[in-house]
Amino acid sequence: MMHPRPKHIGIILDGNRRWARERSMPPTYGHRVGYDKAKQVLEWCWELGIQTVTVYALSLDNMKKRNPEEVSSLIGLVEH
């Protein structure tokens, strides 16, 4: 039996920094692992024919609270 698939899903990236900290790793490591997982999920969406995916990654307010190195790393991942 075929199950209906959504046409649009939303993903909120949250907790990567905290996840890294719990493992005594730098925030940039957590962001990279989160990026890799998000990329995998987007590939699954493509394979399943989901037409639209919205990803919320970073608020302007959150960017202002982070150190410049961490923000630069995050921007680098987004541009990747």
* Domain ranges for the chain: 8-79
- 61 a catalytic residue: no
Tens of pLDDT along 49-65?
A: 999 999 998 888 888 88
What CA–CA distance (Å, rounded) separates 13 from 37? 10
Q: At 51, is the secondary structure helix, strand, or coil?
A: coil
E-assigned strands of 2-63?
8-12, 52-56
- Asked if 18 and 31 count as a contact pair (C-beta separation under 8 A), the reply is no
72 pLDDT exceeds 80?
yes
What is the per-residue pLDDT for 67?
87
What is the per-residue pLDDT for 32?
94
Tens of pLDDT along 9-48?
A: 999 999 999 999 999 999 999 999 999 999 999 999 999 9
Sorted by sequence, the CB contacts under 8 Å of residue 24 that are 6+ apart come out as none
- 16 a catalytic residue: no
E-assigned strands of 1-80?
8-12, 52-56
